[in-house]
Amino acid sequence: MKLRTMTAAGLAIGLAGCTTIPSAGNPIEARWVGKSAGIFFAAYGPPISDSEQGATTVYTWRGGYKTVRIPAKYAEGADGKRGKQISAARTAYLRCQAEITTSSDYTIRDIRTVADIPGVGGPSYCAEFLAPEQK
């Protein structure tokens, strides 16, 4: 009987831990979940709207506006020379939009990107902007 009780207690503790640990695959959640929304908004600007849903508040935030010039790409030619043009140069207008869910004590419980486009150095501009790699 003690084995069942210990197993149930261990399982309960394990499940409780799963709800408070941010997703390791999402760098934005790993960086911001559990921190004060005040720190986020102080660093990146105020939200554009908010709505209360019971004990939580969902903020819509937009920012990170950046214009990037992407150079043309060329195939490798003979003797190290530039070959045929593969893609033309273009201008990319980057931005990020996220929904931030906070608890009643203004702690971030969830952060979900709503509008995200590929970034300069990876698949997500929001991840590059909101959770930059620490050097």
Give residue 23's pLDDT.
47
What φ, ψ does residue 19 adopt, rounded to 5°? -80, -20
pLDDT digits (tens, 9 = 90+) for 56-75: 999 999 998 989 898 999 98
Contact criterion met (CB below 8 Å) for 3 and 104: no
What CA dihedral angle connects 17, 23, 27 and 33, to 10 degrees?
-50
At 34 the three-state DSSP class reads coil
Domain 23-67+93-130 has CATH 3.30.750: no
CA-based end-to-end distance of the chain: 51
The domain ranges of the chain are 23-67+93-130
Give residue 15's pLDDT.
39
Give residue 134's pLDDT.
63
pLDDT digits (tens, 9 = 90+) for 1-58: 454 544 444 444 443 444 444 445 788 999 999 999 999 999 999 999 999 988 999 9
Residues in Cβ contact with 45 at an 8 Å cutoff, skipping those fewer than 6 apart: 61, 63
> CA-CA distance, 105 to 56, in Å (whole number)?
9
Token pair listed for 16 = 């409780």
